[in-house]
Structure 1
Amino acid sequence: MKDRNILVLGAGGVANAISISVATEGAKKIFICNRTVSKAERLADKIGRFFPNVLVEFRSLALEGVPKDEIDMVINCTSIGMYPDTDKSPIDFTGFPKKLVVYDTIYKPQKTKFMKLAEKKGYHIIGGLSMLINQALYSQKIWSEKESFNVFKNFEKIRRILKKYVE
């Protein structure tokens, strides 16, 4: 994330956690875009206060004023495209650069319309199942109180099992 321009779609709890994470990792600029602009503004103000070295801006989900051609990563933290409304995407990727990482926090369906549109453009896509698994593994680590608990030891095995149940 260091020195990257990140576009975060959404301004709820997941967007809050992800915005803090990318700011902590040294993002250069974060654009927070949401259907309710006032929520995007509140989150942008919060991130800006805690991370003064990160440039943070807010916009509507229409992305007006976002320099799309300068974005390195788009992270969907909205519920748009989640089961059962799987025929929707928060954006269409018009105007973005040729090289882009696209992450969708939704895990059902495993490949959302958002991800399919990104894949058609040749972008690197990552689905939300990995976030679900990591949350579960870190929770297990907290509750097991074992210092030696390795959250990555069985990640791939768990991912294969869960894939069967989230489609």
Structure 2
Amino acid sequence: MPGALTRLYCIFGNPVRHSLSPRMHNAAFSALGMDAVYLAFEPSSIKDALAAMRALPIHGASVTIPYKTPVLPLLDSVDELAARIGSVNTVVNRNGSLHGANTDGRGALTALERAGFSARDKSVLVVGNGGSARAVAFTLLAAGARVLVAGRNESRIAALSAELAASYPGVAHRTLNSLDRALMKDIDAIVNTTPVGMGSDTHDTPIDASLLASAHLVMDIVYAPPMTRLLREARDAGCTIVQGTDMLLYQGVLQFELWTGMSAPVEIMRATIIDAMPHAVPE
């Protein structure tokens, strides 16, 4: 039973009432016998939410839509990767000083590494131009990968490519309809960061199946459904596949370890996510 000494953790966003994060983190606390609880809040003001975080105190917070970018200038410090990405999904309360980090990209990278992929000197096609694309691309580049970004909107994909290239020269971009087999022969991994294939959009895919080859590792960050059309067609082509639930898991594992300084019970957290999947609504 939570009491006055119970350590508080939470997620700030709107909406978050269907988030899987409370189940995942509370299962981790329980597995380690910690007197801690993780709650979901839908604040109308992220500034007020951070004031409450300092006052209560709340020891750690996840941050999701629509606050990942607005929260950044309100924090006392932000790690270098989060600053480059331009968004924060994790806040650590260090005795009233709030530190921001971004575990989205590192969660994706960890999921890829657990599938046997080493980013250094590999060529990765990152599909998308939103916040997740930025996080994944910056993290892969920092890990030594070569990145090609692709999307449907030429101007947006060009803008993202230029932003990435300012820190990591050599980043290229293509529109999705210009991808061909010759180009794809040089690609080692494909990461879809778009919502294509999510929810009621299950019959669509961002990459034509004819472009997939057995040499590709294919990851889709969409986790509802866990097996998207892209992943089904990649599996049928003989590719190694990585599901979005793995990124969800590892970004949460990294958050837990930043907050607590303890090793996360990864398999407990994984089982909790899998058990909750029929009830999941994408965040």
Q: Under TM normalisation by the shorter chain, which class is it?
A: 0.7 to 0.9
Residue 60 in structure 1 maps to residue 175 in structure 2: yes
1:163 — aligned with what?
A: 274
| CA spacing shift, 1:59–1:49, aligned 2, 3 Å | same
Q: Does the CA contact (< 8 Å) of 2:213 and 2:239 recur in 1? A: no
2:263 — aligned with what?
A: 150
- Structure 1 stretches of at least 4 aligned residues deviating more than 6 Å after TM superposition: none
**Where in structure 1 are there 5+ consecutive unaligned residues?**
none
Q: Does the CA contact (< 8 Å) of 1:74 and 1:101 recur in 2? A: yes
Q: Does the CA contact (< 8 Å) of 1:9 and 1:78 recur in 2? A: yes
Q: C-alpha deviations, 1:50-92, integer Å up to 9, x for none?
A: 112xx21111121346711111000000110011211111112
Question: Post-superposition shift, 1:108?
Answer: 0.6
| CA spacing shift, 1:131–1:26, aligned 2, 3 Å | same
Deviates more, 1:99-108 or 1:129-138: 129-138
Residue 126 in structure 1 maps to residue 237 in structure 2: no
SS at match of 2:125: strand
C-alpha distance in structure 1 between counterparts of 2:203 and 2:212, whole Å: 21
**Where in structure 2 are there 5+ consecutive unaligned residues?**
1-118, 279-283
C-alpha distance in structure 2 between counterparts of 1:49 and 1:115, whole Å: 32
2:123 — aligned with what?
A: 5
Matching residue's letter, 2:272: I
2:163 — aligned with what?
A: 46
Please report the TM-score for the alignment, with normalisation by the length of structure 2: 0.53
Please report the TM-score for the alignment, with normalisation by the length of structure 1: 0.87
Q: C-alpha deviations, 1:4-33, integer Å up to 9, x for none?
A: 111111010110000001101111x31111
1:15 to 117, 126, 133: 133
Structure (1 or 2) with the larger CA radius of gyration? 2
CA RMSD across the alignment: 1.7
2:256 to 140, 160, 163: 140
Task: Tell me how many residue pairs correspond in the alignment.
Answer: 159
SS at match of 1:19: helix
C-alpha distance in structure 2 between counterparts of 1:44 and 1:116, whole Å: 29
C-alpha distance in structure 2 between counterparts of 1:51 and 1:102, whole Å: 23
C-alpha distance in structure 1 between counterparts of 2:268 and 2:207, whole Å: 32
| CA spacing shift, 1:88–1:95, aligned 2, 3 Å | closer
2:143 to 12, 17, 25: 25
Identity over aligned pairs, percent:
26
1:70 to 186, 192, 202: 186
